[in-house]
Amino acid sequence: MACRTVDVVGTQATCAFGVRKKATFVAIHRQHTWKGISDERRLCFRDTTDPTMPSRSLPNRLAPLVATAALAACVSAERPPVDPVSPPAPAADRPSPKLPPLPEEYEDCPRVRSTGSGPLGARDRAEARASAWMWPAPCGAVSGWAGISIVKSVEAVAFSRDGRRLLACGVSPDDACVVEDLARGVIVERVAQAFPDGLDGTPVTETAPVKALLQRLGAPAPQGPLPFPGDLRASWRVAPGGHALEITLVALATGDERVVARFPGPSGASGQPIVLEGASVAPGGAHFEAHVFTGMGGTGYQIAVVNVYAEAAALFREAARRGGDAGRLAEKAREAEAGGRASAATFVLGGPSKTSLR
């Protein structure tokens, strides 16, 4: 239990709750905690000696006697009534506002973060540091409906073997699949028709034209490493009701966080909760993708493609400005910035249209 504090100044003892009592002793030059009373009335003594007063030291053997005098002066005083114009209680003493319950799409998830949270505290940073490249792991499930298997069968995303291209299926109203050049941020190849006999539930990746394209691209490629593994993690946060979802990068040293993509777009909301179905890092780590899905009546299937180096550079600069290890973070920002210039800005595929976020 934290003890009350008595400031010892000259020949007065000031109780922590503001009542002054005269006492015949001089300033104690070392902190002394009186242990001979109950926890309810435990007091601490600290040196706040008035520099204008003559300085006099007491032998160590007299310190308990002086402490006794201070204790007698303060514990006998009663706490004064609350001043009606005193400032409100600290935020820590007020109950935190209750967040609305998460939709059923997230009911089986061990951890779901909410939008609007501030920098990560020490415990969360330690948990993120011990995790894989994305913390928490993607979680959630869209409730099924008649025909959901047909809808899901047209969706796919995969990086090429060299990490320079991305295959995305089910995000274009005019094409079954598109191939994005990640350096330029443009479509360089299209598959106009993958189901010549109509949709029958066969996954689009099992159709002849898409299988041939995947083989040529060397996709899906093995998972790559996220750059700056000792300094960086990806994360995600859900808005109230699940009607928006943010993808973020977190600086492990400071807990600073940067939103790098938002579903369904920079603004707006989905008519149905959005679920992060999965995410992967490209070979070489220059990009990662995160793909989401919603129930019927929502914004559907979307993919965010994140320029990791450019976004990490911006995050490290922000963390340095807010009081982190400025020299080290500035160096990391310069290193990341050089890599970020080799790729297109972060963008989102699917929804109303392809949208650049930067």
Q: What local confidence, expressed as pLDDT, does residue 322 receive?
A: 83
Quick one: 130 and 261 in the same domain? Answer: yes
**Burial of 210 by CB count in 10 Å (0-12 exposed, 13-18 middle, 19+ buried)?**
buried
pLDDT digits (tens, 9 = 90+) for 10-26: 333 333 333 333 333 33
Q: Sorting pLDDT into bands at 50, 70 and 90, what band is 95?
A: low
Report the percent of the chain where pLDDT is more than 70: 70
Query: How far are the Cα atoms of 120, 171, 309, 315 from residue 289, in angstroms, in the given order?
Result: 23, 14, 14, 18
Quick one: 251 and 172 in the same domain? Answer: yes
The residue that leads in pLDDT, 70 or 105, is: 105
What's this model's pTM, rounded to 2 decimal places? 0.71
Mean pLDDT of 85-98: 50
Mean pLDDT of 317-329: 88
Tokens coding 27: 């300033």
Q: Tell me if 88 is assigned to some domain.
A: no
**What angle separates helix 308-321 from helix 326-340, to the nearest 10 degrees?**
160
Across 130-150, b (16+ Cβ under 10 Å) vs e yields eeebbbbeebbebeeeeeeee
Quick one: 38 and 179 in the same domain? Answer: no
**For all residues of the chain together, what is the average pLDDT?**
79
In this predicted structure, the answer to whether residue 170 has a pLDDT above a threshold of 90 is yes
Quick one: 167 and 54 in the same domain? Answer: no
Quick one: 68 and 120 in the same domain? Answer: no
The residue that leads in pLDDT, 45 or 227, is: 227
Q: Tell me if 284 is assigned to some domain.
A: yes
Euclidean distance between the first and the last CA atom of the chain, given in angstroms as a whole number? 50
Distance CA 58, CA 27 (A): 9
Tell me how crowded residue 62 is: count the other CB atoms within 10 A of its CB: 12
Q: Tell me if 62 is assigned to some domain.
A: yes
Q: Tell me if 35 is assigned to some domain.
A: yes
Mean pLDDT of 2-9: 39
Distance CA 63, CA 36 (A): 14
Tokens coding 125: 């940073």
The residue that leads in pLDDT, 224 or 338, is: 224
Quick one: 52 and 136 in the same domain? Answer: no
In this predicted structure, the answer to whether residue 9 has a pLDDT above a threshold of 80 is no
Quick one: 243 and 291 in the same domain? Answer: yes
Instruction: Identify which of 227, 205, 217 has the alpha carbon closest to the alpha carbon of residue 181.
Output: 217
Q: What local confidence, expressed as pLDDT, does residue 239 receive?
A: 95
Q: Sorting pLDDT into bands at 50, 70 and 90, what band is 247?
A: very high
Mean pLDDT of 224-235: 97
Q: Tell me if 238 is assigned to some domain.
A: yes
The residue that leads in pLDDT, 126 or 74, is: 126
Of 58-72, 210-224, 284-298, which range is least confident?
A: 58-72
Domain boundary among 32, 58, 75: 75
Q: What local confidence, expressed as pLDDT, does residue 325 receive?
A: 85
Cβ pair 242, 274 in contact under 8 A: yes
Q: What local confidence, expressed as pLDDT, does residue 91 receive?
A: 44
Mean pLDDT of 29-43: 35
Q: 235 lies in which domain range?
A: 104-358
Distance CA 239, CA 267 (A): 12
| Nearest-10 Cα torsion for 349, 350, 354, 356 | -50
Q: Tell me if 241 is assigned to some domain.
A: yes
Q: Tell me if 95 is assigned to some domain.
A: no
Quick one: 293 and 200 in the same domain? Answer: yes
Q: What local confidence, expressed as pLDDT, does residue 97 receive?
A: 54
Of 8-17, 81-90, 143-152, 271-280, which range is least confident?
A: 8-17
Q: Sorting pLDDT into bands at 50, 70 and 90, what band is 306?
A: very high
Count the domains in the chain.
Answer: 2
